[in-house]
A and B are shown apart, each in its own frame.
Chain A
Amino acid sequence: MSAPVALLPVAASRPGSDGWRRFVRSPGAALGLVIVVLVVLAALLAPVITPYPQHAGPFVDFAHASQPPSAGHWLGTDAVGRDLLTRIVFGYRTSLLLVVVVLSIGIPVGVLLGLVAGYYGGWVESVIMRVTDIFLALPPLALVLAVTSVLTPTLVNAMIAIGALWWTWHTRLVHGMVSGLKNEDFIEAARRAGASDAHLLFRELLPNVISTVAVKTTLDAAFVILLGSGLSFLGLGATPPTPDLGTMVSEGAKYLPGQWWESVFPGLAILLVSLGFNLLGDGLREYFDVDVQR
């Protein structure tokens, strides 16, 4: 008989209303959610809410170049006279697009491979996991650089490059979980009851894995944004004049420390959105933590 667990309020195995309370108890979780929601809304409504939407395209105004923050331009202007605030908000679009594309390729592929490898074992597992190991052994940035320099260095190619290796983390994670789970009694019981392999994979095992994957996804989002910004900083991202946060930082860096706003604000923008996703991920972990309580 274990300790006071029996006396604790019975935790449902579904988060539910109790989960929400746990979520907001995590420091910064609510803040993370707010940040992410705001950034997403801002990105979606960019043409509507920004003061100078045309600055997001080909636009130059050397009369107003490199101006410090003022009433007309809250965050100042860049070297060719474009409003920084507008370009940052549009830059969020680019970043979020990157996240969506990369994760919607990487996660389903990764989870599927992990499920299959963990469940079937044998040579299937060996093949999948050895390939995964190879990809994981390569430093992500180096691999991405290699791919994008072979193809032309555009944003699309950057997304392909990142997406092509993103599945590996999820495969490893899911494979580890499924390897353990497949030996649980409830899986054997379902098999005894006549369940097919497909049922076991997608209806019995997958629901047990999904919460961990969800948490990892939010943390991934932060990392993808940073990786994308890093690539742009190195000149391998979006092509001008498309606003891109990393490019803005690298361009603006030339003007430090005098016109500091040109690189600092885009940098802070990257920090803000990554932080938001990280905090959200922490909150999600608390929300799903029900599993731990019995």
Chain B
Amino acid sequence: MTRQDAPLLEVQGLSKTFQVGREQVQALRGVDLTLRPGQILGLAGESGSGKSTLARMLAGSSAPSGGDVRLEGRSVTGERLQGERWFKERVQMVFQDPATSLNPRRTVAQTLEVPLRTLGLNAAARQSRLLELLDLVELGQEFASSYPGALSGGQKQRVAVARALAIEPRLIVLDEPTSALDVSVQAKVIGLLLRLREQLGLAYLFISHDLSLMRNVADETAILYLGRVVEQAPTRELFARPQHPYTRMLLSAIPVVSDEEARLKPAHTAVVGEIPSASRIPSGCTFHTRCPFVTEACTRSEPDLLDVGPAHVARCIRIPDLRAAGVLP
């Protein structure tokens, strides 16, 4: 394996349990991921899937309850390590809501100063780097003295991206970076993110509930449900041949804007119930309470990830049968 291919981020058995009042909330229950330099890994899931918890953990904002995280081969599981400068210089985050991710009382320049100071640049270097960053995210220099209140949602997100880039990280965790934006603005911000990936060789951990967006952004996509990955594959493969019943349910529910796309969706799967609470996780396969293909065996034990195609895994024991019956591609 050449240096180039060495994984940037390796996650094994990551779990996180919260104590909320008297209940234990298992937000993550053993997630394995690998991210290579320059790769975009997409994490998709609905509310309660654990994707935001995972994002915050990998960005270094909270420590895992269990499992192992390695960045560039070095273990970073403890909270203290994630507070280290070494970690912050490599992993940055773009938050979902542009309105709350920028301090309303600080100008754009003041906000961008923070990571630049961490880099240890002198005043002149900081100033020129500031202008470079604004240029990089396609914002005019006049925005340096603006307060967030004077910026549109798209402009605020560009500032958030500039802040993440300032410290020259290798990996950026993006937690629903465009879901608070209008779609015409989203297209521009996504375009910017993809261009920056090419230009700077960044890796992204891209979290979203919008599967159509994921289809066009991520190289590889993982679907999360109740704290575990239930299906994962290179994006094109996942969307062409979704195997897990939950993935199929999600895909069939996406509203699309053309007949061609409608034909690409799996046959409409009636939605049963809502996602159970993460403090009362169902036994066996956690999806069994809502699955149209459930059998008795599904309630006994949680399946492992099975190989179902090229670099394609899914956590469901029914897949071979469903394939044989022609239900699955």
Tell whether A pairs with B. Answer: yes
Main secondary structure of the interface of B (DSSP, over half): helix
Please give me the residue from chain A that is nearest to B105 by CB atom: A207
Neighbour of B103 across the interface among A192, A207, A290, CB < 8 A: A207
Q: Does A14 contact B (CB under 8 A)?
A: yes
A194-B115, A195-B114, A208-B104 known; A189-B147 Cβ under 8 A: no
A193 to B166, Cβ gap below 8 A? Answer: yes
Q: Does B22 contact A (CB under 8 A)?
A: no
Chain B residues within 8 Å of A186, by CB: 100-104, 111
Chain B residues within 8 Å of A12, by CB: 147, 149-150
Least Cβ–Cβ distance between B210 and chain A, in angstroms: 16
Least Cβ–Cβ distance between B178 and chain A, in angstroms: 15
Neighbour of B115 across the interface among A14, A188, A193, CB < 8 A: A193
A189-B163, A194-B88 known; A13-B105 Cβ under 8 A: yes
A204 to B118, Cβ gap below 8 A? Answer: no
CA distance A11 to B99 in the complex (A): 13
Residue interface mask A41-63, B partner, CB < 8 A = 1: 00000000000000000000000
Q: Does A199 contact B (CB under 8 A)?
A: yes
Neighbour of A185 across the interface among B88, B101, B105, B106, CB < 8 A: B101
Chain B residues within 8 Å of A127, by CB: none
Query: Max chain B CB contacts within 10 Å: which of A14, A189, A192, A207?
Result: A192
Q: Does B226 contact A (CB under 8 A)?
A: no
Q: Does A142 contact B (CB under 8 A)?
A: no
- Which chain A residues numbered 181 to 209 have a C-beta less than 8 Å away from chain B? 184-195, 199, 203-204, 207-208
A192 to B100, Cβ gap below 8 A? Answer: no
Chain A residues within 8 Å of B150, by CB: 10, 12-13
Please give me the residue from chain A that is nearest to B56 by CB atom: A188
A190 to B95, Cβ gap below 8 A? Answer: no
Chain B residues within 8 Å of A184, by CB: 100
Chain B residues within 8 Å of A199, by CB: 114
Q: Does B117 contact A (CB under 8 A)?
A: yes
13 inter-chain pairs at a CB distance below 8 angstroms, sorted by A residue, are: A12-B147, A14-B147, A14-B149, A185-B95, A186-B102, A186-B111, A189-B93, A192-B59, A194-B115, A203-B106, A208-B103, A290-B149, A294-B149
Nearest first, the 10 closest Cβ-Cβ pairs linking A and B are A194-B118, A13-B149, A207-B105, A193-B115, A185-B101, A13-B104, A13-B147, A186-B103, A193-B114, A185-B95
